A and B are shown apart, each in its own frame.
Chain A
């Protein structure tokens, strides 16, 4: 599957189920304070998600010098196949990017759960540490900002069905 070419604003959804919220921190002192208060702390490593990589092409028209960014030299639109031929469009640069803006200067964070979290309880995460894809359409990719997750006693398991955006049948 090809990478996305463009990114959309992070996908946020509301806590419509009125779940208890998990706090997200990026600082060891905040974790220690939370632990002293009896809270449950789950650290997470933040890693690059290849599905959020963006690639496109910056082209320039050889005649009128117009610039354009396109997903590829040939790609589909609703009107059909679009072609930016080498004879008419010169490649200025292969563009690379990442769909999720940096949320922290560190590559880790921690979720703070209430001390009385029950095994099987579902929580609302307002600020995700992990880089997850919320949706993709055509050549755009949307990173996730919020999530629902279940506490299994040792880990907070993200419910990926929150990002269900495709139907087949």
Chain B
């Protein structure tokens, strides 16, 4: 299972829209402070940002199903993502 990233939007394997990853404050990973292996803290708005580097596709989809507004940090080198232009 691979999550497709197209124009900063995430889609499941069956094409279902999952989330837009587009911070309105244009926060970068450098603005995030690590709290734990999966949690980062945003220095701009102090929200918790989920680091997806060590999550599985299933965990991420379940997370977005339960809390669709969760902030995410995504590395496009992560093999669970497939970036499309």
Tell which of A40-48, A73-81, A97-105 binds the partner: A73-81
Residue among A77, A135, A168 with the highest chain B CB neighbour number at 10 A:
A168
The answer to whether A81 and B8 touch (CB under 8 A), given A166-B28, A168-B23, A169-B72, is: no
Q: How many residues of A contact B (CB 8 A)?
A: 15
Least Cβ–Cβ distance between B51 and chain A, in angstroms: 10
Contacting A168 at CB < 8 Å: which of B5, B28, B54?
B28
Task: Say whether chain A's binding surface is mostly helix, strand, loop, or mixed.
Answer: strand
Asked if B1 is at the interface (CB within 8 A of a chain A CB), the reply is no
Which residue on chain B has the smallest CB distance to residue A81?
B37
Chain B positions 5-64 with a Cβ under 8 Å from a chain A Cβ = 5, 8, 20-24, 27-29, 31-32, 37, 49, 53-56
A138, B22: Cβ atoms closer than 8 Å: no
> Which residues of A line the B interface, CB within 8 A?
76-78, 81, 135-138, 140, 142, 165-169
